[in-house]
Chain A
Amino acid sequence: MTSTPALVVDNLRKTYGNGVEALKGISLTVQPGDFFALLGPNGAGKSTLIGILSSLVNSSGGDAEIFGVSVNKHRSEAMRLIGLVPQELNFNQFEKLFDICVNQAGFYGIPRKIAAERAEKYLKELRLWDKAQHQARMLSGGMKRRLMIARAMMNEPKLLILDEPTAGVDIEIRRSMWQFVSGINAAGTTVILTTHYLEEAESLCRNIAIIDHGTIIENTSMKRLLATLDVETFVLDVATMPDQLPTLPGVVLRRRDEHTLEAEMARSHDLNSLFSSLSAHGIMVTSMRNKTNRLEELFVRLVENGRQESGSNGQVATGKERAA
């Protein structure tokens, strides 16, 4: 027996009143328990899609089902299954953290006693309990983001949607947020994440959709997508830099500065032979790292390809079309 998908988006369209076509009939499926990345450049249509899923935006066509419940036909039932962490702060800054969480639970019909217990649980887990009786306006930016996660958890959703939750948050808080979200995902909650920090998406998400100009241009597993990356660029810190860079087969070497080289090579090229060749030319490598995050490299390439194809034939290619 197959389980009901956490999310089925079917030919979803949105044209705003000013004529902007934000979604051009997109379809995708997210399986229950998944940690799903929804990526795309600014203005691609991600927030519109999330808006429709959370009923903040009215669709112009198509439908979405959350665990089999249609957002269009059974909005209330569908909303019971969702928790939303929006991109923009959207709480009353003059309310206390505890009240924000308890009230949110109240909107879902959760009795006050249970709501108070949950508020304590999630504010503690997100390290905000000591601020529970403070007004939200007193919080730092990172704390406000965590508050929105705690608030989204009050109805203990089966599907948690995070719309750029770590924007402008320092690395330590970001990591603690991911630890929390990974934990609830491991406990069974399906998570959909949009972010511009692609290393987050790469390390956390199992499946991915890339959206641009209102169209899905890639929808696959993270593993499969990363496997399509055929060229990688490494940054090498070197102890000694020769005057003339050697020519190595299958590797393009570029000098960055007196102690740093860039080596661009096919993924199939083995690193041992690179190190041996460099060593033979008197270049000692002291450390190395990827020039860019692998997903970032693919993301940029996919979006650029999509735009070029769109420019040439007036249509953005899907992942399937490109593969064919």
Chain B
Amino acid sequence: MSNSATNLVALHTIARREIVRIMRIWTQTLIPPAITMTLYFVIFGKLVGSRIGVIEGGFTYIQYIVPGLVMMSIITNSYGNISSSFFGAKFSRAVEEMLVSPMPNWVILLGYVSGAVARGLVVGALVLLIALLFTSLHVAHPLITFLSVLLGATIFSLAGFVNAVFAKKFDDIALVPTFILTPLTYLGGVFYSVNMLGEPWQSISRVNPILYMVNAFRFGVLGISDVNIGVAFVVMLAFVVGLSIVALQLLKRGVGLRS
């Protein structure tokens, strides 16, 4: 078999194993985000949102926050999936199964990222379905919608992988979501337009990468955005490339994996 064929089998094996894991523990991986987002839709969308009315571009508040909440669930679940799965493999030493195999590092990385993106997409689809129980939506730009979801999930899968490589205990994989991911998400324009902010907060917000993901997805679904859509994709692609390089370097040097 050629190298590319064996790499493809290896890639399929990791991705399949990750997806089997997600389905095996679906009560931990799929149900909690669906419940959390339902609560967001009820409280912020229906109860609070009905008093806000139309927020921007003729959309009601619940219509405005749906893309942000979908993206929020995608990135938190992609991140959580890969960080817990890869760190779990490190903790149980099962990661050695892969490290002693001929698999190149990029296959390991891509396999785990595929699994995490898959979870992000499944959770995103579930949340979107739930959102449709509360409001109506039509997708303005399907390709942009899909690409922004894919890039957002990929970015946070890669970030979760880097976190898992450095983590030495389970607490370490909870620190980043708690102290970095959640604040950035809440301040990334999920619940409001950054145009509503005064300076310097508007400029500060534009440093937050999640702002670009949320707005790219919002542009795909609603056709409105706080940021230039081209800039948003450049920022997302830059993160994908940058984080991929970091993750591959860590694997190459064996940081936290090889003595």
One of B6, B10, B14, B100 near A55 (C-beta < 8 A):
B100
Please, which residues of chain B bring their CB within 8 A of the CB of A99? Answer: 17, 20
One of A54, A55, A92, A109 near B9 (C-beta < 8 A):
A109
Q: Is the beta-carbon distance between A108 and B93 smaller than 8 angstroms?
A: no
Does B28 sit at the interface, judged by CB under 8 A?
Answer: no
Does B138 sit at the interface, judged by CB under 8 A?
Answer: no
Please, which residues of chain A bring their CB within 8 A of the CB of B8? Answer: 109
- CA of A262 to CA of B150 in the docked complex: distance in angstroms? 77
Does A61 sit at the interface, judged by CB under 8 A?
Answer: no
Q: Is the beta-carbon distance between A111 and B9 smaller than 8 angstroms?
A: yes
Does B46 sit at the interface, judged by CB under 8 A?
Answer: no
Q: Is the beta-carbon distance between A57 and B258 smaller than 8 angstroms?
A: yes
From B101-109, B125-133, B233-241, give the one contacting chain A: B101-109
B4 CB, min distance to chain A CBs, angstroms: 10
Q: Is the beta-carbon distance between A56 and B102 smaller than 8 angstroms?
A: no
Does B98 sit at the interface, judged by CB under 8 A?
Answer: yes
Does A40 sit at the interface, judged by CB under 8 A?
Answer: no
A230 CB, min distance to chain B CBs, angstroms: 41
- CA of A76 to CA of B7 in the docked complex: distance in angstroms? 11
Q: Is the beta-carbon distance between B92 and A109 smaller than 8 angstroms?
A: no
Q: Is the beta-carbon distance between B259 and A106 smaller than 8 angstroms?
A: no
Q: Is the beta-carbon distance between B97 and A91 smaller than 8 angstroms?
A: yes
Contact mask for chain B residues 5-49; partner A; CB cutoff 8 A; 1 contact, 0 none: 111111011101100100010000000000000000000000000
B5 CB, min distance to chain A CBs, angstroms: 7
Does A207 sit at the interface, judged by CB under 8 A?
Answer: no
Please, which residues of chain B bring their CB within 8 A of the CB of A117? Answer: none
A155 CB, min distance to chain B CBs, angstroms: 8
Q: Is the beta-carbon distance between B102 and A77 smaller than 8 angstroms?
A: yes
Please, which residues of chain A bring their CB within 8 A of the CB of B13? Answer: 103, 106-107
Please, which residues of chain A bring their CB within 8 A of the CB of B17? Answer: 95, 99, 103
Does B53 sit at the interface, judged by CB under 8 A?
Answer: no
One of B7, B94, B102 near A92 (C-beta < 8 A):
B94
- CA of A58 to CA of B252 in the docked complex: distance in angstroms? 11
Please, which residues of chain B bring their CB within 8 A of the CB of A107? Answer: 10, 13-14, 97-98, 101-103
Does B172 sit at the interface, judged by CB under 8 A?
Answer: no
Q: Is the beta-carbon distance between B92 and A79 smaller than 8 angstroms?
A: no
B254 CB, min distance to chain A CBs, angstroms: 6
Q: A69-115: which have CB < 8 Å to B?
A: 75-77, 79-80, 82, 84, 86, 88-95, 99-100, 103-104, 106-112
Please, which residues of chain B bring their CB within 8 A of the CB of A275? Answer: none
Does A16 sit at the interface, judged by CB under 8 A?
Answer: yes
Interface size on A, residues (CB 8 A): 37
Does A51 sit at the interface, judged by CB under 8 A?
Answer: yes
A165 CB, min distance to chain B CBs, angstroms: 15
A119 CB, min distance to chain B CBs, angstroms: 13
Does B181 sit at the interface, judged by CB under 8 A?
Answer: no
A99 CB, min distance to chain B CBs, angstroms: 8
Q: A277-312: which have CB < 8 Å to B?
A: none
One of B9, B97, B259 near A90 (C-beta < 8 A):
B97
Does B224 sit at the interface, judged by CB under 8 A?
Answer: no
Q: Is the beta-carbon distance between A58 and B94 smaller than 8 angstroms?
A: no
B144 CB, min distance to chain A CBs, angstroms: 35
One of A91, A95, A104, A109 near B6 (C-beta < 8 A):
A109
Does B99 sit at the interface, judged by CB under 8 A?
Answer: yes
- CA of A109 to CA of B213 in the docked complex: distance in angstroms? 35
A interface residue numbers (CB < 8 A to B)? 16, 48, 51, 54-58, 75-77, 79-80, 82, 84, 86, 88-95, 99-100, 103-104, 106-112, 151, 155
B interface residue numbers (CB < 8 A to A)? 1, 5-10, 12-14, 16-17, 20, 24, 88-89, 92-94, 96-104, 254, 258-259
Q: What 19 new A-B contacts, CB under 8 Å, besides A56-B258, A57-B259, A110-B9?
A: A48-B259, A54-B100, A55-B99, A58-B258, A58-B259, A84-B100, A90-B94, A90-B97, A92-B89, A93-B92, A104-B97, A104-B101, A106-B16, A107-B14, A107-B102, A108-B103, A109-B6, A109-B103, A155-B101
Q: What are 8 inter-chain pairs, A to B, with CB distance below 8 A? A: A58-B259, A79-B101, A82-B100, A104-B101, A106-B12, A107-B13, A107-B14, A108-B103
